[in-house]
A and B are shown apart, each in its own frame.
Chain A
Amino acid sequence: MNRQVSKTIITIFSAAVLLVSAALLILLPEKTISENENRYLAKFTKITAENFFSGEAMEDIEIYINDHFPFRDIIVGIKSDIDKIIGKKELNGVYLGRDDYLIQSFDGYDDETMQKHAEIIDAFSDNLDFSVYFMLAPTSSGIYSDKKPRYNDDKNQIEYIKKMYDKIQNAVKIDTFTPLLEEKDNKELYFRLDHHWNAHGAYIAYLAFCEAAGLRPFAEDDFSIETVADDFCGTYYSKSTYYRYKKDTIDVYVPKFEYDYSVEYVKESITTNTLYEDSHLSTKDKYAYFLDGNHSLIKIENNLIDDGSSIAVVKDSYANILIPFIVNHYSTVYVIDMRLFTQPLSQYIEENGIENVLILYNIQTIRDDIGILRIE
């Protein structure tokens, strides 16, 4: 074999790869979503004079070809494998951690935004009609420092939480960081491949909330822990595009005591008697199992408590897995997502005679949350 032969083989091989790719791009059936990356794939846009001359049509075509390239999912996974092999420990802002943990790196919470948020919450809490509890939850990055790769320059979440709490005077601040840290070696408190805490983590947060609110919490023994899914690949899995870690299990705390809830999705005018939507367990977004994902307003009646007690949970998705614990203490729980809820909050609370408000966000997403700006 001489050099000329080698070059011929390389040239023909490369050309064949490109041509076969082109053929498959045309021949393979069109996919609409990428399960792994958790997003819709680009659709083929019609070319018009307008988008042609602006160049947008061409951009769309390029995106289309990228999205629908044959075996894209597999290729993207291979790329992350190679990245890992050559020593990358962070892909798209997610650390490839120890013990099959993917952990998003935390890059801080700037003073200006924090000050603005603190003022909003403080102003909202300054009233006599209802008591406000504020819970700023750490993410797995804050709790599992030992699972992150060595030498990482991740910011320390506890400092930011403390700083935020120091700025707030009028709300009851709930520390979940300390109890979570204490429990971290006993149980998995967060999903390994997703940005949420799991039911165990949420239970710890529930205990902290009960202590602050003067409630007597149910013991762990009062629940039977059931595994409803063992193939959960969450947001970190999609974001990192690293697909080798073992998949997550989703546990649920099912009360051993008697319970009876009416769950009303107000805007959608749907009422059910369960906090869990099984249908999501067969999709990618399995966390939506809890309270059917994010809704502007969910009204949950506990039909076994008739003292008229109530709480509004103003929250991001971290609350969805915590609320199943809280519902056992109030006649009515209002679950409000400010990103979607359009009425003035205080007014709604007063109109409905709600006595308590729990504001719950996690430290990672609060910075960019647009809903929090509308709390008033």
Chain B
Amino acid sequence: MVFSSLIFLVVFFPLVLLFYFSINKSSTKNIILLIFSLIFYAWGEPVYIVLMIFSSIVDYTNGRMIEKYRDRSILPKVFLVFSVIVNLSLLGFFKYSNFLVGNINSIFNTSIAYRELRLPIGISFYTFQTMSYSIDVYRNKVKAEHNFPNFMAYVSMFPQLIAGPIVRYSLIQKELTDRTITKRNVLDGSIRFIQGLAKKVLLANNIGLLATSIISSHGEVSAMTAWLGAVAFAFQIFFDFSGYSDMAIGMGKIFGFTYPENFYYPYTCTSITDFWNRWHMSLSTWFKDYLYIPLGGNRKGNLRTILNLIIVWSLTGLWHGAAWNFMLWGLYFGIILIIEKFVISSLLEKMPVILKRIYSLVIVLIGWVIFMLDTPKDIVNYIISMFSFGRMADIEVLFNISNYGVILILCVVFSMPLNLSQISEKLRIPKLLKESAYLIFYIGIFLLSIVYIVDNTFNPFLYFRF
């Protein structure tokens, strides 16, 4: 079940709210959330629910054990290692075994048999959450959770279960047992949800049609068409992903939880380092806190720093999907980050902002080409097309721009921070007019989203490989 579906909006979500708000006690509310989250998860994959429950039990038990035997020298570490091994094995088996065996077979010309496993949705998100919990308990950053339903509710929490943000236990520990639901938060959460829904349904899905048509055309495309395809994909994945995050954060607010922000206008970045401070922030900080820093970060000399960056970014890439192009995508960013850190940092500083932006966006767009195409051959051909200035434009560019011009402009506008209240103040727009515009805008985008969901000829779920 995805948030941008009628079954979610018209049946599931209203039912959750009905039960949730007819009960006062926090612990009972958690059980309601838990039950609905399990239904939500079971919706597409009833079998894999066992996996999630198993993962929760393991980490719940480990957390308690680490706490109980905190004073014994080696035991806490044993439990921690056990937790990490179990989580990584689950992830490894269900997400990467096909990939691994496939590669072994092709490299060594063997024919090890393997069953194509369907990837359990959201496994990359919840294993990372439970792992971070065990590590935090071990590091004494959080107290172990004693109430299993509360813990399970945290792991399975449906708003952020399938597409993030990655919520660390430390962040919502307090709210799990003691949260206040205010009218203000419910309203803000609703607005945030509508924003996310509109981003996904109106912007991402529509610009996605353009991206898909260019990517799937395979044949020779002109340079401008190739760039247009990359730009369209960049907008699609941004509005899709950040739209999901907005909906998650909004629902969290309605339920009384504070989830971390996940995107901060990534396409206004002025360097690739800056981009990764703005893109999927809950993932990049996770890798930083639980991998990069434990590896020694930048404190063990330049060579070690470079090695650490390579490791972290290859794995970040691989986290996005079990395929070489994702690994390559991660490595690509790793290498550029290393170059930015050690080679061109002073040059970057001196560059005018406009050049910094162009530089960053070109790098990011080429990154998306690696991300969106499966095989090295397709990637290379596509990048060649982008720089084949001999075939600059064709009729397709004009047709695509005339078809998607309005959507493209909207995408550009909504990827930039707009300080509307400041603008309206400058223009001295009367308050009543301003409020009416606000009202009409949100009601408008909500209704439009419903209209576009009803005719859902194109409503892809992009994170099935995460």
A81-89, A168-176, A275-283, A315-323: which lies at the interface: A81-89
Give min CB distance, A126 to chain B, whole Å.
Answer: 35
Interfacial chain B residues near A76, Cβ < 8 Å: 454-455
B353-408 residues with Cβ-Cβ distance < 8 A to A are 394-396, 398-399, 402-407
DSSP majority for the A interface? helix
Instruction: Determine the distance from Cα of A15 to Cα of B450 in the docked complex, in whole angstroms.
Output: 12
Q: Check if A87 sits within 8 Å of B435, measured CB to CB.
A: no
Provide the bound-state CA to CA distance between A9 and B191, in Å. 11
Q: Which residue of A lies closest to B9 (CB)?
A: A18
Pick the most buried of B404, B435, B456: most chain A CB atoms within 10 A of its CB.
B435
| Chain B residue, CB-CB nearest to A23 | B10
Is there contact, CB below 8 Å, between B451 and A87?
Answer: no
B286 to chain A, nearest CB (A): 29
CB <8 Å contact, A10 and B191: yes
Q: A92 CA to B456 CA in the complex, in Å?
A: 12
The chain B residue sitting closest to A241, CB to CB, is B455
Q: Is B457 an interface residue (CB 8 A)?
A: yes
- Beta-carbon nearest neighbor of A20 in chain B: B10
Q: Quick check: B454 and A75 within 8 Å, CB to CB?
A: yes
Please encode chain A, from 56 to 99, with 1 for each CB lying within 8 Å of some chain B CB and 0 for all others.
00100110011001001001101110100011111010000000
CB distance from A28 to the nearest CB of B (A): 13
Interface contact B454-A66, CB-CB below 8 Å: yes
Q: For window 134-173 of chain A, which residues contact chain B by CB distance below 8 Å?
A: 149-153
Picked from A7, A8, A79, A152, the residue with its CB within 8 Å of the CB of B454 is A79
Enumerate chain B residues within 8 angstroms of A69, measured Cβ to Cβ. 6, 10, 454
The answer to whether B455 and A79 touch across the interface, beta carbons within 8 angstroms, is yes
Q: Taking A11-B190, A92-B457, A153-B395 as contacts, is the C-beta distance between A18 and B10 under 8 angstroms?
A: yes
Per-residue CB contact flags for chain A residues 12-24 toward chain B (1 = under 8 Å, else 0) read: 0111011101100
Query: A198 → chain B, closest Cβ, in Å?
Result: 28
Whether the Cβ atoms of A78 and B439 lie closer than 8 Å is no
| Residues of B contacting A22 in the complex (Cβ-Cβ under 8 angstroms) | 10-11, 14
A90 touches B403 (CB 8 A): yes
* Residues B14 and A17 in contact, CB atoms below 8 Å apart: no
Which one of B43-51, B67-75, B261-269 is at the interface?
A: B43-51
Instruction: Tell me the chain B residues, 423-442 only, with Cβ under 8 Å from chain A.
Output: 431-432, 435-436, 438-439, 442
Question: Does A3 lie at the interface of the complex (its beta carbon under 8 Å from any beta carbon of B)?
Answer: yes
A25 at the interface (CB under 8 A from B): yes
Separation of A19 and B10 alpha carbons in the complex (Å):
7
Chain A CB within 8 A of B54 CB: no
A residues apposed to B, CB below 8 Å: 1-11, 13-15, 17-19, 21-22, 25, 52-53, 55, 58, 61-62, 65-66, 69, 72, 75-76, 78-80, 82, 86-90, 92, 149-153, 241
12 residue pairs from A and B, CB less than 8 Å apart: A4-B184, A5-B435, A7-B187, A9-B443, A10-B194, A11-B186, A14-B194, A55-B44, A61-B7, A90-B403, A151-B396, A151-B398
